[in-house]
Amino acid sequence: MRYPILFLILIALDLAYDLVLRILQASRRGEPLPETVRDIYDADGYARWLDYSAEKRKLGAVEKIFDAAVLTACFGTRAFSAVYERLPGGDAVKSLLLLLIWTAVTTVLSVPFDWVREKRVEAKYGFSRTETSTFVRDEITGFVVNALLNAALYLAVAWTWGRFGLRGFFIVFLILAVFVVAFSMLATVFQRLYNKLEPLPEGTLRDTLAELFRKAGYELENIYVMDASRRTTKVNAFCSGLGRFKRIVLYDNLVNGYSEDEIAAVFAHELGHYRRRDTMKNTAFTVLLMAVVTAAAAWFASTPEMSLAYGFEGVSPVFGVILLQAVLLTPVMTLCMIPRSAMARRFEYRADAAAVESGYGEALISALKKLSRDNFSDLNPHPAVVALEYDHPTTADRIRAIRERESGGASGGTA
């Protein structure tokens, strides 16, 4: 029974880690905001933010505890093998059915939390615009995509394990690596499952952004505007894709609610990511992470005791896929994302510096303040939480680095 105990310990540690971070965040309530961001919220706005963050934190904690309880019930018993034995068909059919059932169960159990988060908390504070029909469609789409991806992963693992044994996991790694690269290249294609992306209309804004592109040495193919306002009032922009598939996408909330200089500043920031190939570097990091995932899968395949401990007659590839996703990946991802987040924060400082060098330092500061207010950002998070989880520096740190860059100083974050 040593493996079930190990997995239950991992579930408990993940829960404890999450709750500790939430407690650290809650401990910042009442702390004075950094001077550079005190003008973002007025007294009423800050009081609303405190209530909003507390509600989100409470809901997140309840969901995490519930998820841990479900995982404990599943991986503390032989529930998977009991269900597997009662399914019809041969091993392949039973495995696919078990995977489908697991995906369906986790989706159904998450829906109430998604609903409360979207239709209660986010709507209460004026952020969510998601119609019920859109919410239902998003949940169904997410389920279908997850089911297909899980089935593809299972079939890849089962086929390579059956045909090549442990040597076949190199093929699994190649399959995962190809998928990661393809997903990165075609990110906007997948985004179209949920949102419409339209070219930015002709006009002075497009001309300004196109000129920024040309000054950077690139020919502009297109700038896309996402219809994010159908779901939220929050604002964002991002660079996605690889090679000739690379795209800069602006939320329509940004295009419609910000000045041209502020939009140009945000665009110059995203162009900084573009020029430094940050998306490619993030993809490379994810490919390395897939090597860790493959190693964990190979460890499971070479350790039949894991499957036997849960009532299977031998190594069960489908149980391995479920175990990997539900339990084993969590500590791996937690550890790997710490350096990944630090790298991402460095990328953000550098992209901000690119906007400053393009002459948009003050406009970027103005945009950052508006983005923080419109997105109800935490302006004073706990330093430990920032170090462990944030992939963006705090607004105060970004403004400080921009000011230092403008004055000719050297900021540690922009080195």
| Predicted pLDDT of residue 55 | 95
| Cβ count within 10 A of residue 408 | 6
Handedness of CA 25, 28, 33, 36 (dihedral sign): negative
| CA distances in angstroms from 304 to 74, 249, 310, 312, listed in the order given | 19, 47, 10, 9
Helix axes 169-185, 132-164, angle to 10 degrees: 150
Max alpha carbon distance in the chain (Å)?
Answer: 71
| Predicted pLDDT of residue 249 | 84
Q: Which residue has the tokens 């593809």?
A: 152
What residues are paired with 223 via a beta bridge?
A: 248
Neighbouring residues of 243: CB distance < 8 A, sequence distance ≥ 6 = 185
| CA distances in angstroms from 387 to 25, 149, 284, 345, listed in the order given | 13, 31, 22, 9
Question: How far is it, in rounded angstroms, from Cα 39 to Cα 53?
Answer: 19
Q: Are 166 and 224 in contact (CB under 8 A)?
A: no
Q: Are 218 and 204 in contact (CB under 8 A)?
A: no
| Predicted pLDDT of residue 220 | 64
* Phi, psi angle pair for 205, to nearest 5°: -65, -50
| Predicted pLDDT of residue 333 | 87
Phi-psi region of 117 (alpha: psi -120 to 50; beta: other; left: phi over 0): alpha
| Predicted pLDDT of residue 326 | 93
- Closest by CA to 268, choosing from 297, 239, 288, 231, is 239
Ordered per-residue pLDDT tens for the chain, 415 residues: 589 999 999 999 999 999 999 999 999 887 888 999 999 998 898 899 999 999 999 999 999 999 999 999 999 999 999 999 999 999 989 999 999 999 999 999 999 999 999 999 999 998 888 889 989 998 998 899 889 988 888 888 888 888 888 888 888 898 888 888 887 776 767 777 788 888 888 999 888 888 888 887 776 667 889 998 988 998 888 776 655 556 778 899 999 999 999 999 998 998 888 888 888 888 889 899 889 888 988 888 889 999 999 999 988 989 998 999 899 888 988 998 899 999 999 999 999 999 999 999 999 999 999 999 999 999 999 999 999 999 999 999 999 999 999 887 544 433 3
| Predicted pLDDT of residue 415 | 31
| Predicted pLDDT of residue 9 | 96
Question: How far is it, in rounded angstroms, from Cα 263 to Cα 275?
Answer: 18
Q: Are 267 and 237 in contact (CB under 8 A)?
A: yes
- The DSSP secondary structure of 74-86, one letter per residue, reads HHTTTHHHHHHHT
| Predicted pLDDT of residue 412 | 41
Phi-psi region of 44 (alpha: psi -120 to 50; beta: other; left: phi over 0): alpha
| Predicted pLDDT of residue 73 | 96
Token digits of residue 47: 């009081």
Q: Are 213 and 220 in contact (CB under 8 A)?
A: yes
